[in-house]
Amino acid sequence: MSILKASRADARPVWMERPGPLVQAGKAVAIAAIVVVMLYPFFYVILMSFASPEAATSGTFWPSSFSIQAYVSILTGGVVTRALLVSAGVTLVGTVLSMAFTTTLAYGLTRTKDVPFAKPILVMVLCTMLFGAGIIPNYLLVRQLGLLDSYWSLILPGLISAFNMIVVRNFFMGLPSELIEAAKLDGASEFQIFIRIVLPLSKAVLAVIALFYAVGYWNSFFNAMIYLNDAAKWPIQLVLNQYVVQGSTLSSVQPPGVPAPPGETIQKAVIVISTIPILLVYPFAQKYFTKGMLTGAVKG
């Protein structure tokens, strides 16, 4: 009886046992189905963006003939190319400024003994995660600051994310305090410690947070829709909204004598162009996700 009890105590839980062939086959089928469901819209959009005008209206998944007329139309019209440059500039400048302000604020809030009112400031930052002013007060503030119809209205309202700042702060607090104390004994200032010790040791979390900011700036269109009246300053996502949601056409930018591509082909081509930059950047930062987020989110 005692041997039976010991064997039951040493037995592994059911969920830790190796599944049988049927269970593994079921998991493989389920994963394959999920992959197909996730990839189908992606491939459909790409195929339809290259479809010829005749194939685009046939209603088939695989077009019988292909053409780059949609890409030529949107890239030669000037609207999409200008919007791409606007989005690229806003994303680059916004990400750099957000990272600079987020990291400096996070490091300052780790020095609770040296920075006055560090804890009340931290509480104030945390309150912004729970309470928001709303659209109308934000619009009135942006207008009062003279930022309407300015690119800064796309950057400054979301310059610091409280969640990202907390993740970076927790990562900084997990760094060895002995390194900072040794640097202070060697006469290093707080700025030197921050630049030469803290930031180089935080590449993983900084890469993740930088990608979060970049994706946020690139995909943002609501602020542009509210604060920008000049269509020449629209980012790519607002142009995408006009083509896909509003159903705008490119007939006004077509060369004389050349028919405009179908609206569905134009929509798919704009979606592909607006998605490619993020798809190119994401693989380079993917390896930092697990290390950066787990270390920054869990202290100890």
pLDDT digits (tens, 9 = 90+) for 166-221: 989 988 888 888 888 888 888 888 888 888 888 888 888 898 899 889 989 998 88
**Contact in structure between 105 and 165 (CB atoms under 8 Å):** yes
pLDDT in the model for residue 260: 59
pLDDT in the model for residue 251: 46
List of residues 6+ apart from 190 with CB closer than 8 A: 111, 114
d(CA 119, CA 169): 13
| Alpha-carbon distances, residue 259 vs 49, 52, 69 (angstroms) | 16, 12, 10
List the chain domain ranges. 2-49, 71-297
d(CA 277, CA 273): 8
For the whole prediction, is pTM greater than 0.85? no
Q: Which residues of the chain have pLDDT under 50?
A: 6-7, 251-253, 255, 296-300
pLDDT in the model for residue 33: 93
Closest-CA residue to 200 (of 222, 179, 229): 179
CATH placement of domain 71-297 = 1.10.3720.10
